[in-house]
């Protein structure tokens, strides 16, 4: 029972956890955290280990063999496990930092890039029969994976801010990190931190577009309107993508992943976005936002 309570302490709010994270990747990550917390291991070191697994997965994909794909799929899953473990260690040790959160996000994209490039190279070697050129599969799958990741991250942050009052919204983060970057530039210190924050601000600009002004919703109304949408957003979340890549690679069926990324996930995304926009519009119409 104590382990269950400890496990819950390492999670984000369960409302915003993705299904495969909560029931697959995080339980394995928790076992790692139980071991490494006794040693002077930092969350950033676990983040780096996640990146090494991600790059290793990409290298094995690039071999273009069925055995390479099988091991690459396993490593891809381990990448997600290690990615979960860094935040869990930070929460259980209470040693998380804002810059560490950004580093974790950057490494996620490094891992995704390594896996997709390796996947493309491996498929170009012709180990699997495909209906079209690998370019016509990998390019759109990569684009949709990035798009879906950006949007689910945006709406998760919005829910944490407006529905739970636990985190800054993307707009709040943009203002806070812009001010922090200006201060670091004036003082001419922490060049690495300035570089990291600059990358994060570019990411937020992509998320927000022209919507830089933060609305202030009634918390209870926002929670009720959006609570049931979050589990459906997980259908196009990063953990779902990784799970499908892992399973399709282990089974030697890469078209399973492309069918998910290009067809299923994209249809879900369009429907969810329409429902999400309507839900937030109704909140504004009912004067729950200022």
Phi/psi of residue 210, nearest 5 degrees:
-95, 0
158 burial level (CB within 10 Å; 0-12, 13-18, 19+): buried
Average pLDDT over residues 63-84: 97
- pLDDT for 104-115, tens place per residue? 888 999 999 999
From residue 140, give the alpha-carbon distance in Å to each of 113, 144, 151: 13, 6, 16
Rounded to the nearest integer, the mean pLDDT of the chain is: 89
**What is the Cα–Cα distance from 136 to 91, expressed in whole angstroms?**
41
For the chain, the maximum distance between any two Cα atoms, rounded to a whole number of angstroms, is: 58
Number of H helices, E strands in the chain: 14, 0
Q: Tokens at residue 189, please?
A: 């210190």
pLDDT band per the 50, 70, 90 thresholds, residue 210 = low
**C-alpha closest to that of 242 among 76, 66, 122:** 76
pLDDT, position 285: 55
pTM assigned to the model: 0.90
Answer whether 189's CB lies under 8 Å from 202's CB.
Answer: no
- pLDDT for 243-256, tens place per residue? 999 999 999 999 99
Q: Tokens at residue 2, please?
A: 């104590």
Which stretch, 31-35, 154-158, 284-288, has highest mean pLDDT? 31-35
185 burial level (CB within 10 Å; 0-12, 13-18, 19+): middle
pLDDT band per the 50, 70, 90 thresholds, residue 290 = very low
Average pLDDT over residues 57-66: 97
Q: Tokens at residue 128, please?
A: 């699997």
- Provide, rounded to the nearest whole percent, the portion of the chain with pLDDT above 70: 93
- pLDDT for 9-40, tens place per residue? 888 888 889 999 999 999 999 999 999 999 99
């Amino acid at each position: 029972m104590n382990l269950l309570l400890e496990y819950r302490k390492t999670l984000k709010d369960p409302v915003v956890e993705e299904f495969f994270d909560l029931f697959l990747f995080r339980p394995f990550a928790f076992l790692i955290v139980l071991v490494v917390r006794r040693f002077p291991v930092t969350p950033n070191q676990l983040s780096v280990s996640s990146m090494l697994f991600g790059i290793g997965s990409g290298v094995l994909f690039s071999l273009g063999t069925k055995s390479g794909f099988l091991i690459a799929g396993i490593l891809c899953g381990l990448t997600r496990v290690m990615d979960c473990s860094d935040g869990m260690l930070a929460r259980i040790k209470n040693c998380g930092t804002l810059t560490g959160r950004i580093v974790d996000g950057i490494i996620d994209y490094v891992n995704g890039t390594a896996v997709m490039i390796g996947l493309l190279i491996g498929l170009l070697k012709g180990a699997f029969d495909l209906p079209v050129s690998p370019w016509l599969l990998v390019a759109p799958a990569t684009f949709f994976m990035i798009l879906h990741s950006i949007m689910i991250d945006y709406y998760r942050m919005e829910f944490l801010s407006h529905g739970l009052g636990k985190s800054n919204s993307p707009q709040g983060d943009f203002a806070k990190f812009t001010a922090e970057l200006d201060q670091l530039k004036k003082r001419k210190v922490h060049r690495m931190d300035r570089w990291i924050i600059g990358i994060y601000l570019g990411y937020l600009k992509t998320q927000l577009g022209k919507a830089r002004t933060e609305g202030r919703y009634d918390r209870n109304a926002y929670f009720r309107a959006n609570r049931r949408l979050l589990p459906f957003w997980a259908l196009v979340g990063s953990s779902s993508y990784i799970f499908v890549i892992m399973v399709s690679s282990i089974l030697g069926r890469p078209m399973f992943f492309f069918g998910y990324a290009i067809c299923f996930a994209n249809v879900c995304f369009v429907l969810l976005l329409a429902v999400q926009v309507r839900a937030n519009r109704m909140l504004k119409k009912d004067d729950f936002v200022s």
